[in-house]
Every structure is written in structure tokens, then in C-alpha cells.
Amino acid sequence: MIQKMAFGNTGHQSSRTLFGAAALGKVDQKTADSVLDLLLEYGVNHIDVAARYGDAELRIAPWLKSHRDEFFLATKTAERDYQGAMDGIYKSLERLGTDTIDLMQLHNCVEIDEWEMAFGSRGALEALIDARSQGLIRFIGVTGHGFGAPARHLQSLEQFAFDAVLFPYNWFLCQNSQYTSDIKKLLARCEETGTAVQTIKSLACRPWPGERRFSCWYEPLEEENEIQLAVDWVLGNPQVFLNTTGDVTLLPRVLKAASAVDERPADTAMQDLAQKHGMEPIFEGNTALMRP
């Protein structure tokens, strides 16, 4: 079984591995049901989905009818204006077949123009606050992709007391010294405020060099021993949660690794892994300090 810990100040004990439901975006209902049943076997009790993940919300709904009380349910809105975000909340509630969403998140709110709109008058954040007061959602979070996410999240926390943040986190990305510095500042702030820290892209290796063999948009690690190293490295930070990768065939390997998590691997082991696969940054931005 996968270890659980407090999900920030929400009062929920979440499994340290959260199910990243982007993996359900393009599967049929039978496949989705079998994947979701697997969560029960490993004690995963937290689902993270988004309106933009294809049919994922719809695939979760039938199964969730029998398991709603067992799961902390998170979704996201990519809308930046008040009405769009509020409409999106109602649509997600309908698609998920539930009366309440535990955590509604601003999806990838990093670019400055979108950030300013979402945080401004009649912006998306205001809609989430109103939805919380109406009992439609319980908690509010913000997510981000790219090298700028941790720094922007720190700025977001200065503006509003978010219950959770989410950003990319793996050994290779953290070889960028500026990125690591931003993460350390964000983690310190989250510890002070009791903000839950979610991470993504634990298995990311590089952009696809050719034909995609998995549904995730980056080339992932796929061998069990290598997945174990990646999972051990992320969960070696006791403050963070790990969101599973966006491919249903890799999910059992990630859950197996998370249930057998060991001490954090040495840098030498991670360096060997990076060199073996020719790891490359999966995001545009400051790559000058990347050292495989």
C-alpha cells in the first residue's frame, strides 16, 4: 500500500501518489474502470483531473458513483475570466457526476497576461472564491508547467492563500540551478503556510524523438527499475506528492514503485540514468545550466 500524509491544511490524508487522470483522456469506459479499480489495490485515494483532459472527467463519473466518499477529487479550469471559470465549474460538476469538487485549480496559470487576468477584477480566481462560498468546491489550488512555474506560484501565494500548488519536478529538471532555487523558495513558503505540494513529470526523459509509444506528450522512462529510481527520487522529498504519468500502461509500474519506495538515489545513479537516455529539457526556457 502507498503511504499517506496530510494534504496541506485540507484535513485529508492523501496517498503520496495521486492519480493523474490525464491518462483517461482517450480510453474507453471499460479500460477506465479497470484502471480506477487498480487505485483501490494500492490505496490511492486522490484523483487529479482537468476539464481539458479529453473525456477523463466523463470516464471517472460512472465509477465514482460507488466510490465518491473514498476519494479526494481535484479538477482544473483553464478559463481566466469570471464567467468562463464559473461555467467551467458547473460543467465539471456535471461531467464528474458529483455535487462538490474537493479541489478546483487554476490550470497552468503561469504566463503573465493570463495570470493578471485570472487574479484581476472579475477574474477566474474570484469565481473560484465564490464557488467555494457556495459549497460547489472546498479548496482552491494553482498549477503550472515550465521553468517559470515555481516562481509564479510563489507570486500567486503572495496574492492568495492557495491550498495547493503543482509544478514539474524530477532530478533532471532540478539540474537547472535557477529552477532549483525557485523550488526551494516555494517549498519553504508552502511549509510556512501549510500549502500542499503536488509534482508532475517524474518520469519525463525528453521530447519525443520520433513516433510516440505512450500517450504522454514527452518520452517517459518505462523500465521498472528506472521508474523506481525516478519515483524514489521524487518521494525522497518528504514534502511532496507525486502525480502519476499520463499513460494507463505505465500506471501499474508507477504504483508498484510508489508502494515500494526506498531512500532517495544518489546523484551518481541519476546521472547515469540521464546519460543512458540522453535526457533533454521538455520545456522551453533557460536550459544553459542543464547538466546531464
Q: Are 242 and 14 in contact (CB under 8 A)?
A: no
| pLDDT value, residue 290 | 34
Cell numbers for 291: 547538466
| pLDDT value, residue 285 | 62
Q: Is the dihedral of CA 98, 100, 103, 104 positive or negative?
A: positive
| pLDDT value, residue 230 | 98
Instruction: Report which residue type is found at 275.
Output: Q
Q: Tell me what the mean pLDDT of segment 239-266 comes to.
A: 96
Distances (CA, A) of 118 to 15, 110, 114, 139, 182: 30, 10, 6, 17, 22
Q: What is the mean pLDDT of the chain?
A: 95
pLDDT tens sequence across 192-240: 999 999 999 999 999 998 888 888 989 999 999 999 999 999 999 999 9
List b or e across 191-211, with b for residues whose CB sees 16 or more CB atoms inside 10 angstroms. eeeebbbbbbbbbbbbeeeee
Q: Are 138 and 102 in contact (CB under 8 A)?
A: yes
Q: Give burial (CB, 10 Å; 0-12/13-18/19+) of 39.
A: buried
Residue 285's contacts (CB-CB under 8 Å, 6 or more residues apart) are 146, 147, 148
Q: For residue 271, what is the DSSP state?
A: H
Tell which residue, 17, 21, 93, 20, has the closest CA to residue 60. 21
pLDDT tens sequence across 170-193: 999 999 999 999 999 999 999 999
Question: Residue 280: pLDDT above 80?
Answer: yes
What's the residue count for the chain? 292
Q: Tell me what the mean pLDDT of segment 19-26 comes to.
A: 94
Question: Residue 292: pLDDT above 80?
Answer: no
Question: Residue 147: pLDDT above 50?
Answer: yes
CA 208 – CA 218 distance, rounded (Å): 6
| pLDDT value, residue 287 | 39
CA 239 – CA 196 distance, rounded (Å): 8
Confidence of residue 284 (pLDDT cuts 50, 70, 90): confident
| pLDDT value, residue 218 | 92
Cell numbers for 49: 483531473
Distances (CA, A) of 282 to 168, 237, 246: 10, 22, 15
pLDDT tens sequence across 26-37: 999 999 999 999
Q: Tell me what the mean pLDDT of segment 250-267 comes to.
A: 97
pLDDT tens sequence across 82-93: 999 999 999 999
pLDDT tens sequence across 98-136: 999 999 999 999 999 999 999 999 999 999 999 999 999
Residues above pLDDT 90, as percent of the chain: 93
Q: Are 48 and 77 in contact (CB under 8 A)?
A: no
